[in-house]
Amino acid sequence: MNDSQNKIGIENAQRNETIDVNHENDQSPKEETDTPLLLKSIGFNLDYYDKKTNMAGDIRFTKDNLFHDQIWSDFGQQDIRSPNDPTKRNVQPTVILPLGTKVYSLVDGEVINVEKLYSNDYTIMVARNRQSNYIYETEHVIHPLVKVGDHVSGGEVIAEASDHNSDYHPGLGILEIGILHPTKEGVAQHICPFAYLDPSIKKDVENKLNALYAAWESYQGNTTIYDEDHMVSPGCVITDPVQG
């Protein structure tokens, strides 16, 4: 498998960078005074798998060779290439989606950054305000529809899924979602977004994630792709923050 393909779902696992929590050049990280926003969307439409359409909401099932054999990867998932290194964990849940799939804001908030990435696509960061230590990311997106300073609502269309790595699975792109919650020292770390689902969507999302695991394993003919028994909740392998 090509090294670029191997990056799908865990390519951000160890950035080991120090960041400016407030996105200002002249500020050091402040004491945490705010609280996390609750997710009103998970960035795309997830639904129960329909054999007639071969779709689970926006997810199109495929027999293409995907990393980990997964069309979805969970927060905190261990990199199989480094099974004994606890620092090598997935910091952002990742999904493979058809090109052109609309991407939604995770939360109600202010757009604090729209940044072009090494992969020639974008990350869009939303927070309560510029001083917040909880930053909600939709990463690997194209055609951003928002700019810094815009106020968005959870579930509002803000971009499309990226075509990054689509040469390895034609017609399919990628989306990563995450909550960046830096340490007081400014070290980048992520927390599991599925621990912060709004009550209005929590049960529905969890049920549909569990159904996705089962449907995908059945489709692939492999019941060991996901280890639901060792997840702390659907979407989260662990509850601890992961640096990166």
Q: Which of 181, 197, 192, 188 is nearest to 240 (CA)?
A: 192
Domain with 163 in it: what CATH number?
A: 2.70.70.10
Residue 73: C-alpha distances to residues 34, 108, 109, 221 (Å): 29, 25, 26, 18
Q: Is residue 146 part of a domain?
A: yes
Q: Is residue 11 part of a domain?
A: no
Q: What is the pLDDT of residues 202-240, one digit of tens each?
A: 999 999 999 999 999 999 999 999 999 989 999 999 999
Residue 28 vs residue 133, higher pLDDT: 133
Half-sphere exposure of 36 (CA within 13 A, CB side): 21
Q: Is residue 216 part of a domain?
A: yes
Q: Is residue 18 part of a domain?
A: no
In total, how many domains does the chain have?
1
pTM for this predicted structure: 0.86
- pLDDT of 126 > 70? The answer is yes
Q: What is the pLDDT of residues 91-121, one digit of tens each?
A: 999 999 999 999 999 999 999 999 999 999 9
Q: Is residue 220 part of a domain?
A: yes
Domain range holding 96? Answer: 35-243
Residue type, 207: N
Q: What is the pLDDT of residue 91?
A: 94
Q: Is residue 26 part of a domain?
A: no
Residue type, 214: A
Instruction: List Cβ neighbours of 188 (8 Å cut-off, separation of 6 or more).
Output: 15, 16, 17, 18, 19, 180, 182, 243, 244
Q: What is the pLDDT of residues 61-87, one digit of tens each?
A: 999 989 889 999 999 998 877 777 777
Residue 82: C-alpha distances to residues 33, 77, 85, 87 (Å): 36, 11, 6, 9
* 162 beta partners: 174
Q: Is residue 24 part of a domain?
A: no
Q: Is residue 13 part of a domain?
A: no
